[in-house]
Amino acid sequence: MKQREGNRIICPVCPHHCSLAEGQYGRCRARKNENGTIISTSYGKLTALMLDPIEKKPLRRFHPGSQILSVGSFGCNLSCPFCQNYEISMCSESETGCRHMSPEELADLAEQCKMYGNIGVAFTYNEPLIGYEYVRDTARLVHARGMKNVLVTNGTAELSVLDEILPYIDAMNIDLKGFSEGYYKKLGGDLDTVKHFIERAAGSCHVELTTLIVPGENDSEEEMEQEAQWIASINPDMPLHVTRFFPRYKMTDKAATDVEKIYRLKAVPKNI
């Protein structure tokens, strides 16, 4: 991959490969060309910090019944018009309030929360991999304290980034937003990238997937059948969470997904 285009530097983290002039931010709003180097501007800057049940990530088959210290920052490299966390994922640092927490401070806090059933740290809420350096540095310290790391991601990152964090990640929930290139294009992503990411992750840690069903967009039984067949080809026991859309952000013109539709789609993989 090219590293420069004239005076511009190319960010290697995700397939957008933003070509950034000095001082310019990338599409995710969390990386920037500073003095000729691409830096993560969200390192240690948290917009959300809470102790959540692990089922909320969602993870169904990884330490059920436990709690996990869940943190988010700002920015995202996709542009889903229905984003449920848009207040932090679709904004820059100046548009949101952040508190600073070093990797050491977060790992220490995770350890202090053991008394409440905490098993480790989950990197979630916005897209963690646009600031993978903080994930890597914190997760290493969390492991050193004998605790677990969870990543909740859209899977839209280069495999070189994934490889850098995989040794420290115990479980992931990866969004598989649909199973057509056309739908991924609308969201500013790419289905093949996510498929390769899931394949690589599933060979190394516990993986569960989530598909948010948006009425009229990714809700056909044919698409679910193709998706389920592909998932089964990697690991027939890999859980898939099929979740409801609720009107949010730029998509407020559609009703929430019908519950019956979710149950119909949930039944599709069982017939494969």
Nearest to 194 by CA among 207, 206, 133: 207
Longest dimension (CA), the chain: 56
SS3 state of residue 63: coil
Tell me how many residues contact ligand SF4 (CB under 6 A): 12
Does residue 194 bind ligand SF4 (CB under 6 A)?
A: no
The CA distance from 95 to 13, in Å, is: 23
Q: In this chain, which of 4, 6, 8, 18 binds ligand SF4, going by CB under 6 A?
A: 18
Rule CB under 6 A: which of 29-88 touch ligand SF4? Answer: 31, 77
Q: In this chain, which of 9, 13, 101, 172 binds ligand SF4, going by CB under 6 A?
A: 13
Per-residue b/e over 207-235, b at no fewer than 16 CB within 10 Å?
A: bbbbbbbbeebbbeeebbbebbeebeebe
Per-residue b/e over 92-108, b at no fewer than 16 CB within 10 Å?
A: ebeebebeebebeebbe
Does residue 8 bind ligand SF4 (CB under 6 A)?
A: no
Q: In this chain, which of 9, 28, 119, 242 binds ligand SF4, going by CB under 6 A?
A: 28
Q: In this chain, which of 48, 130, 174, 198 binds ligand SF4, going by CB under 6 A?
A: 130
The least distance separating ligand SF4 from the CB of residue 104, rounded to whole angstroms, comes to 25
Q: Which residue is nearest to ligand SF4 (CB)?
A: 26
> Could you list the residues that contact ligand SF4 (CB under 6 A)?
11, 13-14, 16-18, 26-28, 31, 77, 130
